[in-house]
Amino acid sequence: MSHTPGSGTAGEHTRAVSLPEAPVPAERPMRMPVHRATTYAFDTSQGFADVLAGARDGYSYARIDSPTVDAFADAVAALEGAGLPDRVRGQAFASGMAAISTVLLALTESGAHVVASRSIYGNTHSLLDRLLRRFGVRTDFVDITDLDAVRAVVTPDTRVVFTETLSNPAMTVSDLPGLARISREAGAALVVDSTFASPAVCRPLEFGADVVVHSATKYLGGHSDTTGGVAVASPELIERIRSARIDLGPCLAPDEAYLLHRGLETLPLRVARQCATASAFAAALEGHPSVARVDHPSLVAHPEHDLAGKLFDEGRYGAVVTVHPRGGRDDGMAFADRLRVATIAASLGGTHTLAGHVASTSHRNMTEAELTAAGISPGAVRFSIGLEDPQDLIDDALAALDGGN
């Protein structure tokens, strides 16, 4: 026998799924609540229809929007847009590549042209050069530090200029104001992957970028325990990006959003220390006889050292250092294998210092010619500096270069 809920005589199964609602405290919780619900209830059909149509704000289904996920995206937007006169908005994604893919799909169409940095993350290069090319989007990869070269390949079909604040792994610094001028003249959007910088180092929107994207897995989360991505732009552009996200479905889970939001609270503290250690680490390895080159903008020999000083917050040059040992691929891998404090692992931006042989890991999809064009030597080893004592990291790397501990 079945009964209506609330009658006092409802059946046990109805009672089980109609439990009392949780109390809503009048006091403000010190931690952000996590809303794990995938679907939200309405009092009327018209209310449901109004939210779906965008006639009023609200939540209906977690793939479309989630309050916990929105809180994280809005928090990143607040950090990225701190120096801007107008408000910017954020959209969160399941990963950094989900953010980049969705932004590019939102801003291009068949027949569109993209100008991209030659020295970018390997999967971003693959996305542009292989996947999007199948759908009629053509990309020219150029030396992004040469503004004349960038301007020379712009066409009437150019929709996006894509670069990284700090390139992966060569640590080249993009002239954001110069690229913004070229993009505006072309009627294109300047999209900047600022994962390697974070808003604790540089805020590209302040220098004319239209969209900034992050793999939030890295510095924003900061503890190597969650995966996510985020894009920040004007409300108009974000609405286009949100629409593409809803259709594609790369939504961020609320528990991941909670962890990423938590990471933002210590972002400036962590990044300032990591950047200081990275500068000391780069300086200590630069003159070693077994090292051909060290890539880090804090070094005076770095081609964009002066530019970094103008764009980045004082004393913060990023916390990734790429070391190019003399020799080839085997020499670089052997150097990484001899490390004892730094750990061989993927990703970056966490509390532990991580090291990886570039050509066989993050840039494994690139050909030898593409690696050379991007300034990546066969033996290059990328260090993501963590929170260890600087001298321990330096001694470990020097001993590894000398042949072992």
Active site residue 310: no
Phi/psi for 142 (5° steps) reads -135, 170
Residues 6+ apart with CB under 8 A from 281: 321, 383, 385, 390, 393, 394, 397
Active site residue 193: yes
Pairing of strands 89-93, 229-233: antiparallel
Q: What residues does each domain of the chain span?
A: 45-264, 267-401
Contact (CB, 8 A) for 390 and 280? yes
Residue 215: per-residue pLDDT: 98
267-401 has CATH 3.90.1150.10 classification? yes
Active site residue 219: no
The string of DSSP letters for 186-254 reads HT-EEEEE-TTT-TTT--GGGGT-SEEEEETTTTTT-SSS---EEEEE-HHHHHHHHHHHHHH--PPPH
Of residues 291, 258, 257, 264, the one with CA closest to residue 349: 264
- Which residue(s) pair with 90 in the sheet? 232
Of residues 108, 178, 181, the one with CA closest to residue 139: 108
Query: Which position among 40, 50, 61, 63 bears the catalytic label?
Result: 63
Return per-residue pLDDT of the chain as tens, 405 residues: 344 555 568 999 998 999 998 898 999 999 999 999 999 999 999 999 999 999 999 999 999 999 999 999 999 999 999 999 999 999 999 999 999 999 999 999 999 999 999 988 889 999 999 999 999 999 999 999 999 999 999 999 999 999 999 998 889 999 999 999 999 999 999 999 999 999 999 999 999 999 999 999 999 999 999 999 999 999 999 999 999 999 999 999 999 999 999 999 999 999 999 999 999 999 999 999 999 999 999 999 999 999 999 999 999 999 999 999 999 999 999 999 999 999 999 999 999 999 999 988 877 877 888 888 888 899 999 999 999 999 999 999 999 999 865
Residues 6+ apart with CB under 8 A from 93: 99, 102, 228, 229, 230, 231, 245, 250, 251, 252
Task: Give the CATH fold of the 45-264 domain.
Answer: Aspartate Aminotransferase; domain 2 (3.40.640)
**CA-based R_g, the chain, Å:** 24
Query: Which position among 218, 245, 270, 382 bears the catalytic label?
Result: 218
Residues 6+ apart with CB under 8 A from 146: none
Tokens at 337, concatenated: 């294998």
Residue 8: per-residue pLDDT: 65
Query: Which position among 193, 210, 295, 396 bears the catalytic label?
Result: 193
What's the predicted TM-score (pTM) here? 0.94
Contact (CB, 8 A) for 302 and 295? yes
The string of DSSP letters for 64-119 reads T--HHHHHHHHHHHHHHTTT-SS--EEEEESSHHHHHHHHHHHH--TT-EEEEESS
Query: Which position among 89, 121, 270, 317 bears the catalytic label?
Result: 121
Helix residue ranges, H only, 220-367: 235-248, 254-264, 267-286, 305-311, 329-337
